[in-house]
Amino acid sequence: MSVTVEALHGEKDDELIAFLDELSTDSASVLGYHYPFYRDMLTTLEVGEPIYLGARCEGKLVGYLPALMKKSPAGVVIGSLPYFGPNAGVLCGNERCEQVHSALLEELAQRARTVNAISCAIYTPFQFGDFGLYEKALPRWEVVERFTQYQRLDADVRDPAAKSRVEFRDGGSNSTIVEDEVSAARTVPGKGIRYDLRKAQRLGVTVSSEVTTERMATFFSIYEQNCHEFGIPLKPRTAVEWLGRTELVGKHTRLYFAFHEGEMIGGLMMVWSPKVASYYIPCSLTEARSLQPSTVLIDAAMTEAREQGIEFWNWESSPGRDSGVYQFKKKWGAVESEYRIYIQTFAGQDRLRELGRAGITREFPYYFVWPFDRL
């Protein structure tokens, strides 16, 4: 039985969502970033033109490869996926896996070749290690080795010493405040994390998940301040507001806000799929970090994720193993997972060198175009 490939447009969204939801029951590779709502956000931000490819066998959708194409006066680049590089690549079940990978990857490569793309970059999926499928379909492509951090949330380990105070709202007027010994299943973090949680509780730090316009504005202001302080690329306000919309919060996204004496001192935005919670935007006031808002926010988010049956916490990438960000995640119990970026130029190395680092960054924001150390 042959596999055919087609472009998936908006009218196929219901089918795509059903495919991803079903695949999630057996695969941790499906992330919130792969759903149509995230594609719509990226197009609103003008990150690129969607190239969302579907593989069919006997009319049934059996595989999916999301990508975007960016055109500029300098040329064309393609990424799966751009915008801070979430894992993407081919998503499919075990049935006809090799055939599906071959069909989808070769189709995307052919589209890149047709437009003489300066580069086409494909990030392999989260929790995926069969790189041979990519080696076979994309021979002689450049390979960039990367790692991300993650941890399982479904281990039934309890920490009776920790307590949490969390207010949850479901978009309505009803709210509950929970403040008791943590009885939900919890992977015990390091001693330093447990100490910080107890300290934050003693100092009266609370967490709320009620989303309001005022809270979203304060959240973005704190996030923007953090980005300027540490030289972190800023996600636009439009992106934050898009993901904070009522129809997405509680379904695809989660927001948590930390307060002390009535003032918001930090926030956390998560992006969910049925099995994976992805750590998307954390932020905290510099002058309030001794109150441990980030630790309390993560604890609240992990608690809800476990209660909702989420199995994996996707910490995303870190600047390096010697970075404070990497070490902070490790204290929670994070471990490494390898992934790769397969990348090819169809315009030639000379065109890449002509653009240089400055030209690539200017013309193709949000895209991994080429490793700068290989120019």
Q: Which residues contact 318 (CB under 8 A, 6 or more apart)?
A: 149, 325, 326, 329
Q: Whats the size of the chain, residue-wise?
A: 375
| Rounded CA separation 59/341 (Å) | 30
pLDDT at 219 over 60: yes
Written as six digits, the tokens of 158 are 């309890």
Domain 154-310: CATH architecture, name and number where available: 3-Layer(aba) Sandwich (3.40)
Instruction: Dump pLDDT digits (tens) for 155-214.
Output: 644 343 334 344 443 333 333 333 333 333 345 688 899 999 999 999 999 999 999 999
The residue-averaged pLDDT of 305-311 equals 96
Give the pLDDT of residue 135: 97
Instruction: Please count the other Cβ atoms lying within 10 Å of the Cβ belonging to residue 83.
Output: 19
The residue-averaged pLDDT of 71-99 equals 95
CATH number of 4-146+339-374: 3.40.630.30
Partner residues linked to 270 by β-bridges:
254, 279
| Rounded CA separation 129/291 (Å) | 39
| Rounded CA separation 30/276 (Å) | 8
Q: In whole angstroms, how far apart are CA 337 and each of 108, 128, 312?
A: 25, 9, 12
**Domain residue spans of the chain:** 4-146+339-374, 154-310
The residue-averaged pLDDT of 134-149 equals 97
Residue 290's Cα: distance from chain center in Å? 28
Instruction: Please count the other Cβ atoms lying within 10 Å of the Cβ belonging to residue 157.
Output: 9
| Rounded CA separation 179/176 (Å) | 10
Instruction: Dump pLDDT digits (tens) for 354-368.
Output: 999 999 999 999 999
Backbone angles phi, psi at 199, to 5 degrees: -65, -45
Its pTM stands at 0.90
Written as six digits, the tokens of 283 are 């932020």
